[in-house]
Amino acid sequence: MSLKSQLQCDLFAAMKAKDEVKLATLR
């Protein structure tokens, strides 16, 4: 896997985690 796709994967995971935290705090 290339470094660029690895960074995009990490970024996507970070955004997903942020959304999950947001949903958790809304509850």
Domain ranges of the chain: 1-27
Q: Kindly state the average pLDDT of the residues 1-26.
A: 93
**pLDDT at residue 1 greater than cutoff 80:** no
Looking at the whole model, is its pTM more than 0.75?
no
Q: Kindly state the average pLDDT of the residues 6-15.
A: 96
CA angle 7, 13, 8 (to 5 degrees): 25
- 3-class DSSP state of 23: helix
Average pLDDT over all residues of the chain: 92
Q: Kindly state the average pLDDT of the residues 6-25.
A: 95
Half-sphere exposure for 23 (CA within 13 Å, toward CB): 6
